[in-house]
Structure 1
């Protein structure tokens, strides 16, 4: 017989043995888990909520895949950089507004809409 066939038959025998051991130990393991859950007051709902908990013994763990909370920055208004003929304004950030895109497509340079005077306080 070839080595491959021998290995495959050994794998099959070992998988059967592992399956038999698992089925024998299953009830014992479930009983142990139930005892631990009872001792610590753990419910099925607790297990479903945390799924995978990491951390050292005695310290609360983190939920796997959870991202740390982001600190929100305070948003400040940006002064307008461009002003259209009908009073529309644009800060120059983000997508070009339709009113300006239309005027540029019509042949007018974007620089002609720059706000040159200082904003009044």
Structure 2
């Protein structure tokens, strides 16, 4: 007897998955419209994970209190100091 796979037991095709997702999105949109829900309503109801972001540690500080965490582009105050010949390490916190 040949080993046949029952089509009802196989995984849905990618096209079927996309179609079902589109149908689900359409249903959600209808419910949102029906009840007049806003994004703020959904956030308040806990529908989305919170975006807790940890504060970056300050790595550089100027004499007048300007700070930089070392991420992204160098801030103007530090770039000007480096252009004037100062070492970035001079502004490093804890150095």
TM-score, normalised to structure 1, is 0.39
Quick check: which has more Rg, 1 or 2?
1
Higher RCO (CA < 8 A, seq sep 6+): 2
